[in-house]
């Protein structure tokens, strides 16, 4: 696949009134949409069509037009404030869209919720809620059994298997508030796995975790890929992107470029995404690039002490 690039994102977004109403777009039959827009595939796990998100009538993310590749690990990269988390939340309907539509395997997202697993940012969760790790993971089965029905023994066994998969089975009865940050992140990953979805959207799963948790997450992502599932992951570390992801999507309020990781992380694409001065690095025969910060960055998660490891 050839990487695709867009024009440099403008400094000032267009007004929200410049975009069509999402309600009018949602009324269009998906078959008619794909006939009108042949560049989009009805087989894509996630198809985003001209999505714009606005806060207080000011667009913060606009003209997002993207089909996620099936069975791939995709990293969403960009500077702070680029709209990475907003893209995920907009696709899930967690924030209102000023325009655009989202299709999952060619159908409206609202009809395909059970096929989409979500791992939110750890900071956005109320960890003081009195619930055990096993209970949290069992919530991932609600898409299959319904919210008001009791969790059966079979579903609890499935939840335990997911905890085992992320190395947290010994903490099943522990209150979620008593776990460390890395352990909490693993539990939420297990909850997404319990849903048994075809598409996973993950918002900064590697943020502020210990090395053991980072390895566990990478292992799970690779297992999901082997099963033919698709994962879109908001990520912040350019150095690890070539190792973790098959493809990347570079974002700065608009899509700057997307495609195979090594072909897309070019100096030009990164400069248009991050701006500032770029320092080229050579690693294992590959040319990588990163923005040179004014102050030294904090140590990466791999350098953190393994205090969160179970």
Q: How confident is the model at residue 12 (pLDDT cuts 50, 70, 90)?
A: low
Q: Return the domain boundaries, the chain.
A: 69-97+112-303
Q: Please give the angle made by the CA atoms of 45, 110 and 34, to the nearest 5 degrees.
A: 50
DSSP secondary structure of 243-260: HH-SEEEEESSSEEEEEE
What b/e string do you get for 270-282 counting C-beta neighbours within 10 Å, with b at 16 or more? bbbbbeeebeeee
Instruction: State the CB neighbour count (10 A cutoff) for residue 146.
Output: 9
In the β-sheet with 199-203, what is the strand arrangement from edge to edge?
4-5, 255-260, 247-251, 73-77, 230-234, 199-203, 116-119
Q: How confident is the model at residue 29 (pLDDT cuts 50, 70, 90)?
A: confident
Element (H, E) at 193: helix 181-194
pLDDT, tens digit, 9 for 90 and up, residues 51-81? 999 988 888 999 999 999 999 999 999 999 9
Measured torsion, CA atoms of residues 18, 24, 26, 30, in degrees rounded to the nearest 10:
-100
Give Cα separations from 96 to 24, 56, 71, 184 (angstroms): 14, 11, 28, 28
- The two tokens of residue 241 are 């992107």
Instruction: State the CB neighbour count (10 A cutoff) for residue 25.
Output: 17
pLDDT, tens digit, 9 for 90 and up, residues 212-243? 889 999 999 999 999 999 999 999 999 999 99
Predicted pLDDT of residue 291? 40
Please state the pTM of the whole predicted model. 0.79
Residue percentage of the chain with pLDDT more than 90: 55
Give Cα separations from 71 to 45, 56, 162, 199 (angstroms): 9, 36, 20, 9
SS3 label, residue 64: strand
- The two tokens of residue 265 are 């992380």
DSSP state of 261: H
pLDDT, tens digit, 9 for 90 and up, residues 165-183? 999 999 999 999 899 988 9
Check whether 41 has a pLDDT greater than 60.
Answer: yes
pLDDT, tens digit, 9 for 90 and up, residues 242-290? 999 999 999 999 999 999 999 999 999 999 999 864 554 334 334 444 4
71 in Cβ contact with 65 (< 8 Å): no
Predicted pLDDT of residue 307? 44
Determine the Cα–Cα distance for residues 195 and 126; give it in Å rounded to an integer: 21
For 69-97+112-303, CATH number out of 3.40.50.300, 3.40.50.620, 1.40.20.10, 3.40.50.261 equals: 3.40.50.300
Predicted pLDDT of residue 147? 56
């Amino acid at each position: 696949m050839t990487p695709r690039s867009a024009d440099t994102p403008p400094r000032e977004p267009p007004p929200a009134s410049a975009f069509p109403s999402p309600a009018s777009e949602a009324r269009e039959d998906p078959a008619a949409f794909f006939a009108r827009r042949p560049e989009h595939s009805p087989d894509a796990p996630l198809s985003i069509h001209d999505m714009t998100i606005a806060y207080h009538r000011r667009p913060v993310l606009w003209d997002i037009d993207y089909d996620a590749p099936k069975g791939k690990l995709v990293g969403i990269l960009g500077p702070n404030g680029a709209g990475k988390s907003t893209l995920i939340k907009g696709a899930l309907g967690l924030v209102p869209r000023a325009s655009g539509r989202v299709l999952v395997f060619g159908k409206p997202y609202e009809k395909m919720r059970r096929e989409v697993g979500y791992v939110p940012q750890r900071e956005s969760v109320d960890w003081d809620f009195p619930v055990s790790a096993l209970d949290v993971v069992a919530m991932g089965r609600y898409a299959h059994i319904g919210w008001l029905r009791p969790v059966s023994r079979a579903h609890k066994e499935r939840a335990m298997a997911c905890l085992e998969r992320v190395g947290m089975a010994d903490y099943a009865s522990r209150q979620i508030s008593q776990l460390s940050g890395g352990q909490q992140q693993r539990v939420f990953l297990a909850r997404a796995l319990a849903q048994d979805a075809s598409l996973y959207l993950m918002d900064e799963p590697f943020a502020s975790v210990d090395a053991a948790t980072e390895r566990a997450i990478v292992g799970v992502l690779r297992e999901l890929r082997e099963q033919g599932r698709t994962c879109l992951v908001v990520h912040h570390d350019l150095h690890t992107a070539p190792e973790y992801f098959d493809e990347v999507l570079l974002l700065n309020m608009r899509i700057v470029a997307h495609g195979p990781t090594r072909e897309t992380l070019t100096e030009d694409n990164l400069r248009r995404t991050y701006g500032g001065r770029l320092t080229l690095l050579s690693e294992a025969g590959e040319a990588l690039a990163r923005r040179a910060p004014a102050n030294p960055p904090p140590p990466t998660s791999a350098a953190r002490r393994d205090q969160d490891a179970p």
